[in-house]
Amino acid sequence: MFGQERPAAGEASAEALRLEGVRRIYGAEGNRVAALDGVSLSLPAGSFTAVMGPSGSGKSTLLQCAAGLDRPTEGRVFVDGAELTGGGEAALTRFRRQRVGFVFQQFNLLPTLNVMENAVLPLKLAGRRVDKAAVRAVLERVGLGDRLDRLPAELSGGQQQRVAIARALVTRPRVVFADEPTGALDTRSARAVLELLRESVRTSGQTVVMVTHDPVAASFADSVLYLADGRIVGYQTSPTAETVAERMTRLADEVERQRTAAGV
């Protein structure tokens, strides 16, 4: 199953993301939860991967640890060959600013900054030169070239999420991590956002890792990683909404059966 289908390190194209034995334990002694319980994976550059699993299976924790927003209790994370785990806070912040981009469910735009100002923010925070023409080109690509001076509150949810994607892309990160990027959007806006992510993979060789609950959203990815109880339990290439939905139903049934058998 997973072992055979999973892309091997160094195969075909360069490796964008590698996790080695990542564990993340939450809670104090006597009340510990293994949100991630030994996750190892390797994703090639230019891939679009969806992460799915039942509620509480560790999807967000996986994304947070892989993106350097949270620290694994054990294990190592590499982005584009450079180790993310191990350094201090300052090194981690620098690493995030240089190598990764984020897109969140709730957009997380700054309300007092306009579209252009929001999009250039990561460059400014990283102390990098702001090439306004290049940023404008990215905003045009996401269909917002005529709204550069609008505030987030003057935009629809779908437009705000497209600003957030532009903001994630302007630093040309090695990997963009998206946590439920379509969770707050209507079907049509969701489709536009997913097409945008897919296009950034196809045309710019961007690597995208996206957590989602939605089989339709997952079908836009090249492959799907399935998590259950903090472990990778499956990997699927060329997903369709139907095959993902079917696999999720089977997974939920299996998890339920195992929990019942374990008396949890």
Ligand X SMILES: Nc1ncnc2c1ncn2[C@@H]1O[C@H](COP(=O)(O)OP(=O)(O)OP(=O)(O)O)[C@@H](O)[C@H]1O
Is residue 82 involved in binding ligand X (CB under 6 A)?
no
Per DSSP bridges, beta strands 207-211 and 231-237 are unpaired
Q: Which two tokens stand for residue 79?
A: 């982005």
Give 33 or 110: the residue with its C-beta nearer to ligand X. 33
Question: Binding ligand X by CB under 6 A: which of 38, 56, 157, 183?
Answer: 56
Instruction: Specify whether the CB–CB gap between 207 and 201 falls below 8 A.
Output: yes
Is residue 55 involved in binding ligand X (CB under 6 A)?
yes
Q: Which is nearest to 19 in space by CA: 59, 60, 66?
A: 66
- Using alpha carbons, list the distances in angstroms from residue 14 to 96, 165, 235: 20, 23, 19
Is residue 57 involved in binding ligand X (CB under 6 A)?
yes
Amino acid at 83: E
Question: Binding ligand X by CB under 6 A: which of 47, 49, 61, 118?
Answer: 61
| CB environment 12-27: b (16+ within 10 A), e (fewer) | eeebbbbbbebbbeee
Q: Which two tokens stand for residue 111?
A: 């309300």
Instruction: Specify whether the CB–CB gap between 170 and 103 falls below 8 A.
Output: no
Question: Binding ligand X by CB under 6 A: which of 5, 11, 21, 27?
Answer: 27
Distance between CA atoms of residues 143 and 166, nearest Å: 10
Question: Binding ligand X by CB under 6 A: which of 40, 42, 60, 93?
Answer: 60
Give 32 or 124: the residue with its C-beta nearer to ligand X. 32
**What is the SS3 assignment for 109?**
coil
Q: Which is nearest to 78 in space by CA: 186, 169, 207, 236?
A: 207
What is the sign of the dihedral through the CA atoms of 193, 167, 107 and 36?
Answer: positive
Question: Binding ligand X by CB under 6 A: which of 16, 17, 50, 59?
Answer: 59
Least gap, CB of 117 to ligand X (angstroms): 31
* Contact stretch for ligand X (CB under 6 A) within 56-64, 75-83, 183-191, 245-253: 56-64
Residues touching ligand X: how many (CB under 6 A)? 12
**What is the SS3 assignment for 12?**
coil
Is residue 26 involved in binding ligand X (CB under 6 A)?
yes
Which residues in 31-50 contact ligand X (CB under 6 A)?
33, 35
* Contact stretch for ligand X (CB under 6 A) within 51-59, 93-101, 131-139, 215-223: 51-59
Question: Binding ligand X by CB under 6 A: which of 44, 53, 68, 72?
Answer: 53
Binding mask 105-144 for ligand X (x = CB under 6 A): ----------------------------------------
Residues within the interface to ligand X (CB under 6 A): 26-27, 33, 35, 53, 55-61
